[in-house]
Amino acid sequence: MTPKSFYRRIEGELAELENSALLRSVPAVDCGAEKELLFKGRKLLNLASNDYLGLANDERLASAAIAAVERYGCGSASSRLVTGNFRIYDELEQELAAFKEQDDSILFTSGYAANLAIMDSFASRRTTIFSDKLNHASILDGIRMSGARQVRYRHNDISHLKKRMEAAKDAESRVLITDTIFSMDGDLAYLEEIADLCDYYDTMLVVDEAHAEGIFGSGKGIAYERKLAQRIDLHMGAFSKGFGSLGGAVSGRKNLISYLRNKGRSFVFTTALPPAVIGANLAALRLVAEDPSRGEKLLRMSRDLKTFLESCSFDCGQSESQIIPVIVGDNETALMVRDKLIEEGIYAAAIRPPTVPEGTARLRLSLRADLNEEDLHKIKDAFAGLKAGAE
Ligand SMILES: Cc1ncc(COP(=O)(O)O)c(C=O)c1O
């Protein structure tokens, strides 16, 4: 039988990706959430995961997950609105709402699903959505799904945003959504200016705190740290990063959360997270609420490393967080630097287009609170060696 014609097209596209050093494949990594992961049998310092607080392997989370499995079993067996509910799910939503100082919260199977639900619920074809050019892909997908008119503004460019909002001031309804930490650059949104514009132009304001929760603002995020929490309509976050587990969540006023429970298709039409995950999430939330010092330590360490890298003339962009890009430009150089770091015992992700703009391929260092002095020396020595090698 002759193969169907689409195979040729797919093969062609894969070859093109390979030729431009853009073909992705799952790396030969094992134990990828540990401080030292295994790569092709070697232990490497893990600077590529989002386990910023080192909680994914914390025994208190593991015990809570095991206890939840022993009490409730492995699966939730249904969507939340049918029978996929257990007492600990309600507890988690209530404790998260209290932690974020909001009326109510709703859980999703992932941060991705949470962003889809927000856009799909609060926007329609008659809505204009303002979105920072570097917002996460899940936000873009949610906007596409909603059918709304998308107005993208230049990254962190408030005067551009203002012009765009002025031009759309007669739209039937308006929503603005922004990451608070941009995931490939580690820089922060200008939230105060954005909140002012949203008040002036009567625009719903949604923040994605996926990378900030657990770290900034005593773990509550950047909106809280900047004393803007009550000026923001919806706070989206994720348990998959600083909290070391899985799941997305949205917090806000009671009616808005109730609306999401009714309209969010990625909430209504999917099986709820399994009990083990909820057990771990509750343990992580309680750990952070009781002791936010891990996040503070992580930020001190990140500032120190960024200062060092810049003193070696590396381009770390505008990073102000635990995510530090080392921007090298072309794709091949990014892969070459990644491989050199591996030789030095360090695993960092090489990020290439389309995840980042053409010509800005980079190493994305994501630091973690459990790094010690020795680890930091190892990272600094490796980059100093790279610099010396390039000269
Ligand atoms: C800013 C941002 N929002 C949302 C998500 C999606 O979260 P999750 O991985 O829990 O689906 C991510 C994941 O990388 C992210 O970086």
The pLDDT of residue 308: 98
CA–centroid distance, residue 111 to ligand 1 (Å): 5
Radius of gyration of the chain (CA): 22
Residues with CB under 6 A from ligand 1: 110-112, 115, 136, 138, 179, 183, 208, 210-211, 238, 240, 248
The pLDDT of residue 79: 97
**Distance of alpha carbon 223 from alpha carbon 241, whole angstroms:** 18
Mean pLDDT, residues 295-304: 98
The pLDDT of residue 360: 96
- The C-alpha angle 26, 339, 45, rounded to 5 degrees, equals 80
The pLDDT of residue 151: 98
Relative to the CA of 113, which ligand 1 atom is closest?
A: 11
User: 216-239: b or e for each residue (b if 16 or more CB lie within 10 Å)?
Assistant: bbbbbbbbbbbebbebbbbbbbbb
Mean pLDDT, residues 375-383: 97
Q: Which of 100, 112, 153, 110 is nearest to 131 (CA)?
A: 153
CA–centroid distance, residue 366 to ligand 1 (Å): 14
Residue 391 pLDDT greater than 90, yes or no: no
CA–centroid distance, residue 303 to ligand 1 (Å): 23
Average pLDDT, the chain: 96
The pLDDT of residue 13: 96
Residue 363 pLDDT greater than 80, yes or no: yes
Percentage above 90 pLDDT, the chain = 94
> Which of 138, 270, 356 for mutating ligand 1's site (highest number of atoms within 8 Å of CB)?
138
CA–centroid distance, residue 32 to ligand 1 (Å): 17
The pLDDT of residue 54: 98
The pLDDT of residue 3: 80
The pLDDT of residue 23: 87
Alpha helices in the chain (DSSP H): 6-19, 59-72, 87-99, 111-122, 137-146, 158-167, 191-200, 222-225, 254-263, 265-268, 275-290, 293-311, 331-343, 373-390
Residue 76 pLDDT greater than 90, yes or no: yes
> Which of 240, 246, 267 for mutating ligand 1's site (highest number of atoms within 8 Å of CB)?
240
| All domains in the chain, ordered by first residue | 23-52+292-390 (3.90.1150.10), 59-290 (3.40.640.10)
Residue 384's CB is within 10 A of a number of other CB atoms, namely: 14
Band of residue 22 on the pLDDT scale cut at 50, 70, 90: confident
What does the pLDDT look like over 240-294, one tens digit per residue? 999 999 999 999 999 999 999 999 999 999 999 999 999 999 999 999 999 999 9
CA–centroid distance, residue 249 to ligand 1 (Å): 11
Mean pLDDT, residues 183-194: 97
**Of 33-37, 81-85, 125-129, 351-355, the least confident:** 351-355
Band of residue 132 on the pLDDT scale cut at 50, 70, 90: very high
Band of residue 58 on the pLDDT scale cut at 50, 70, 90: very high
